[in-house]
Amino acid sequence: MATSRGGGVWTYLESRKNLTGSACGLAGVVLTLTGVAGPYWPVVVVGLYGAGALVAPPERPAPPEFPDPSAQLSAQLEEVRGDFGRLRGYLADVGLPPAAGERLADLTGLLGALLEPGWVAEVLAADPDGVHAVSRAVRQDVPEAVDAYVRARWWTRLTPGQEPPERHLERQLTLLHEEAERLAAQLRETEARRQESHTRYLEDRSG
């Protein structure tokens, strides 16, 4: 209890209110020494101290620090980049028909371009929905599509005459590529708006 009270006293002594009030009170002492305050100097000193303490800005506790959302997205994108490398290693071991293999190459090429370290990835990292879309494609959609094809291909060999599983794979890869293209177009639009905004700024500045 004594420690708590002592800490409270020291906290007040170091506070802005006390420091400002003390400065004003010191001004009252100066007025007293110069004879301005006269016989009422105690009232003047106390009054100036109180006035200074009242006008001093209140103590403001420091707000809690939270992780920067953009830094979190950049870190998440770095993890996705590592997972994309592992995905490529997996895909290299899977034999696909030429048409499906070509569509897969187009898709992974686009995803790789979006994940390439540099300013493009920085633009992507500023878009939470975009990071989620790329993460979902790398970690879920592409491996699920390829694995489902591999499984269905084995069963088709046992029961010939069924619909070729590569048709579904080709359609899935086409849809995923279209989704990635839409994301790239959105990011391009973001950069275009940034460029247009800078043009308007320069025009306004030029009068």
Residue type, 110: L
Query: What does DSSP assign to residue 198?
Result: H
Whole-angstrom Cα distance, residue 184 to residue 137?
A: 14
Burial call 25-34: b when 16+ CB within 10 Å, e when fewer: beebeebbee
pTM attached to this predicted model: 0.65
Tens digit of each residue's pLDDT, the chain (207 residues):
444 454 455 455 455 555 565 665 555 555 555 555 555 556 555 565 565 555 556 666 777 776 666 677 788 888 999 999 999 999 999 989 999 999 999 999 999 999 998 888 888 888 899 999 999 999 999 999 999 999 998 887 777 777 788 899 999 999 999 999 999 999 999 889 888 999 988 888 886
Whole-angstrom Cα distance, residue 46 to residue 59?
A: 22
Query: What does DSSP assign to residue 117?
Result: T
